[in-house]
């Protein structure tokens, strides 16, 4: 309704039109330039810390302290802090090994279990299915940090405290992943499965060789969420193990900062360790960007 | 038997399933339950591994911790053994009612996190929305680059990022060097326990932070004086807030971005034709359409930020002067540091309750007001019709 009353004001009278158009064009140019400047400032805010991190890893301790903002190490002490990480003054190689083991098992396990359960909830009919799905939704709402002491109690009771099992099994419980897989399977048309049924395929065969190959996009999303989640996981590792031989990268880095090695401010060493721990996720992120975008929109949000 | 229709069975149980079912085209009717031999068995077998893990590592821990929080278990042997004393609500009373150090520490952690949440949630929601709108501009060059740049911090490890921020926020670090360029002497960030509100009140000469008025300092609530409650986040906490806003906005930006890209163009276009300026379009056209996403982001933000742990564990360990203590961190140190598992478990349940209550309060505050108005109007109409009918 208001449109009709406002319109004459916007449509400027013809004589002044030319000047107005000019001014408007100038204004849009200014807007674009200002907009671009704002964007670049924000891009710097979001990216420059990583520049500081990379540069810091290659600086000497005095240089890092004196020029914390500079992107250029002077003189470049190529690899001296990386050297320290690997020559035995830290357990960095061991942490990396443990992280790789945990991440592989958690990612593989989640892919299998989540897709199995997701398929059952989406396609198979069995008594209790509705209740089961409601349970999965309810469990998704439990805040994770609240579970730290509770998880320790259970791991202790089960007798698997301080083992690889304690690091991996709790992370396999992944209601969010089950939910993502269920939602995805429901978008696949049933006709292909029905055709395979008629050809006499059993349920597992059907799932394995017909449904799973079609679920590639969802499986990639799930892989990324699981990889990133377990690679970066700290709290579960804190309550699951205590032996330094079972530390993963986040736990090891935490020890490097807060523990005995934290004595003194060896920032180049810490920064290079943090940098190396970030690189795998960084590579996966750049390679599979669009899947990350999807993952973030399907509920894989960390606090 | 063959003619019994199954959809009611499918939708049985949760509201979520029936809602989802309603959105999709119904499958053809007239199928029996268990269309294929062994379908029900397969269903249970397929879901069993995931369900068992969820029960063992989510449901059982909660129940077990609930039990432990009601006992005086010392961490020796099984909490279910006969010798473990039953404590009833003692552990909870110590946190909430009984004066003492436990309650003081717990309330300090609640205060710290309250200020933390009050700043983090609006800031990350606002920044995420702003970034999404900027990146969504059609004429923008390098959209993908900017989207990637803003999102990248979200996927990196909280531990690695915390180490980086420790380095940037040292007394002579990158941030203070930067502040030095514009002539500001930066604080010593993670070592500065001064509360922001105290600093502001002192800076305006309203109150002298070194000798607060007796009315505030000598009276209080739940073990903390009013003056302590009104501290605001400490400078150290502010640095952690900046870190968290910096890492989380990217994720939330993607949620807003996806919604913005789905918005119908014609609404925006017609509002431009109507002569609405940028702000009017934002307030009256775009934001109302993003209501569900704003709601989602605030909910996720509330749930996530009450649980703050990793950053505090790495950066400050609750210090300086307990001003970055959070309930999650305190619960962890009480349990694992002091072996007081019952007290630690009780804290997790209080935190759990806080998160639930906060989410409900937020739901109530952000409920669709138009909805309520419509319902009220409808009721009024019905009442007046009834009156007319009886008259």
- For A143-192, how does the pLDDT look when each residue is reduced to its tens digit (9 = 90+)? 877 888 889 888 988 989 999 999 999 999 888 899 989 988 888 888 88
Residue identified by tokens 């810091």 is A56
DSSP state of A259: S
Looking at the complex, does the CB of residue A292 fall below 8 Å from at least one CB of chain B? yes
Cβ contact B164:A53 at 8 Å = yes
Q: pLDDT at position A17, please?
A: 55
What are A47-91's pLDDT values in tens digits?
A: 999 999 988 888 888 888 888 888 888 776 666 778 778 877 788
The ipTM of this complex is 0.84
Write the residue in B47, B165, B173 that is nearest to A120 by C-beta: B47
Cβ contact B309:A303 at 8 Å = no
Most confident of A259-268, B21-30, B307-316: B307-316
Question: Which phi and psi angles does B320 have, rounded to 5°?
Answer: -75, 145
Retrieve residue B96's tokens: 């909430």
What are B39-57's pLDDT values in tens digits?
A: 888 889 999 999 999 999 9
How high is the mean pLDDT of chain A? 82
Angle (deg, nearest 10), helices A148-158 and B60-68? 100
Closest Cα in chain B, distance from residue A290 (Å): 10
Retrieve residue B369's tokens: 């007001």
Write the residue in B44, B159, B168 that is nearest to A254 by C-beta: B159
User: Residue B38: how many CA atoms within 13 Å on its side-chain side?
Assistant: 8
pLDDT classification of B331: cutoffs 50, 70, 90: very high
Asked if A239 lies within 8 A of B336 by C-beta distance, the reply is: yes
Looking at the complex, does the CB of residue A188 fall below 8 Å from at least one CB of chain B? no
pLDDT classification of A294: cutoffs 50, 70, 90: low
Closest Cα in chain A, distance from residue B230 (Å): 26
Contacts of B76 (CB under 8 A, 6+ apart): none
If you average pLDDT over residues A250-266, what whole number do you get?
A: 75
Q: pLDDT at position A19, please?
A: 64
Model's pTM, two decimal places? 0.83
Looking at the complex, does the CB of residue A252 fall below 8 Å from at least one CB of chain B? no
Interface probe with A: pick from B8, B14, B160, most Cβ of A within 10 Å: B160
DSSP letters for A117-174: HHHHHHH---TTHHHHHHHHHHHHTS-GGGGHHHHHHHHHHHT-TTSHHHHHHHHH--
């Amino acid at each position: 309704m208001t449109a009709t009353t406002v319109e004459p004001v916007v449509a400027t009278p013809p004589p002044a039109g030319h000047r107005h158009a000019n001014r408007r064009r100038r204004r849009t140019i200014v807007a674009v330039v200002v907009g671009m400047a704002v964007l670049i400032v924000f891009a710097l805010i979001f990216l420059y810390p990583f520049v500081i991190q990379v540069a810091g890893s290659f600086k000497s301790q005095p240089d890092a302290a004196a020029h914390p903002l500079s992107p250029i190490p002077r003189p470049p002490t190529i690899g001296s802090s990386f050297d320290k990480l690997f020559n035995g003054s830290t357990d960095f190689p061991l942490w990396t090994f443990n992280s790789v083991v945990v991440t592989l098992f958690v990612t593989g396990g989640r892919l299998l279990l989540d897709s199995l359960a997701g398929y059952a909830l989406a396609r198979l009919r069995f008594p209790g299915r509705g209740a089961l799905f409601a349970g999965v939704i309810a469990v998704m709402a439990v805040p994770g940090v609240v579970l730290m002491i509770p998880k320790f109690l259970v791991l202790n009771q089960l007798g698997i405290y301080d083992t690889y099992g304690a690091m991996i099994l709790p992370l396999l419980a992944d209601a969010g992943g089950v939910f993502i897989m269920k939602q995805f399977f429901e978008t696949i048309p049933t006709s292909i499965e029905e055709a395979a049924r008629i050809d006499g395929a059993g349920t597992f065969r059907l799932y394995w060789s017909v449904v799973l190959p079609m679920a590639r996009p969802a499986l990639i999303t799930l892989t990324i969420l699981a990889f990133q989640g377990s690679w970066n996981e700290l709290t579960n590792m804190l309550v699951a193990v205590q032996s330094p031989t079972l530390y993963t990268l986040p736990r090891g880095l935490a020890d490097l900062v807060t523990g005995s090695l934290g004595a003194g401010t060896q920032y180049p060493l810490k920064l290079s360790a943090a940098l190396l721990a970030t690189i795998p996720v960084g590579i996966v992120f750049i390679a599979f960007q669009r899947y990350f975008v999807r993952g973030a929109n399907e509920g894989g949000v960390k606090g | 038997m063959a003619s019994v229709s199954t959809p009611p069975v499918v939708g049985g149980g949760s509201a979520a399933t029936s809602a989802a079912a309603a959105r999709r085209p119904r499958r053809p009717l007239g199928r029996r339950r268990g269309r294929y031999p062994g379908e029900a068995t397969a269903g249970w077998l397929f879901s069993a591994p995931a369900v068992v893990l969820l029960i063992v590592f989510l449901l059982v821990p909660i129940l077990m911790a609930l039990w432990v929080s009601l006992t005086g278990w010392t961490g020796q042997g099984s909490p279910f053994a006969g010798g473990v004393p039953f404590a009833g609500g003692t552990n909870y009373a110590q946190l909430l009612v009984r004066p003492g150090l436990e309650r003081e520490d717990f309330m300090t952690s609640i205060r710290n996190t309250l200020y933390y949440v009050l700043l983090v949630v609006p800031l990350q929601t606002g920044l995420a929305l702003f970034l999404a709108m900027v990146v969504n501009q059609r004429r923008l060059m390098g959209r993908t680059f900017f989207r990637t740049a803003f999102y990248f911090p979200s996927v990196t490890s909280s531990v690695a990022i915390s180490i980086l921020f420790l380095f940037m926020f040292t007394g002579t670090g990158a941030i203070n060097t930067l502040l030095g360029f514009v002539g500001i002497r930066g604080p010593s960030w993670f070592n500065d326990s001064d509360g922001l509100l105290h600093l502001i009140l002192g800076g305006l000469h309203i109150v002298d932070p070194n000798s607060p008025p007796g009315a505030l300092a000598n009276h209080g609530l739940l073990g903390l004086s009013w003056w302590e409650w009104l501290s605001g986040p400490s400078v150290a906490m502010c640095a952690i807030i900046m870190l968290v806003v910096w890492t989380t906005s990217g994720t939330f930006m993607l949620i807003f971005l996806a919604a913005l890209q789905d918005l119908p163009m014609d609404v925006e276009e017609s509002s431009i034709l109507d002569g609405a300026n940028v702000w009017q379009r934002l307030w009256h056209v775009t934001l109302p359409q993003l209501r569900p996403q704003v709601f989602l982001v605030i909910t996720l933000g509330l749930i996530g930020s009450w649980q703050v742990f990793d950053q505090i564990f790495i950066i400050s360990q609750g210090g300086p002067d307990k001003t970055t203590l959070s309930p999650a961190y305190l619960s962890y140190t009480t349990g694992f540091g002091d072996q007081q598992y019952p007290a630690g478990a009780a804290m997790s349940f209080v935190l759990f309750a806080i998160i639930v209550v906060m989410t409900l309060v937020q739901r109530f505050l952000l409920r669709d007001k138009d909805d309520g108005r419509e319902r009220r109007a409808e009721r009024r109409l019905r009442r007046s019709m009834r009156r007319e009918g009886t008259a």
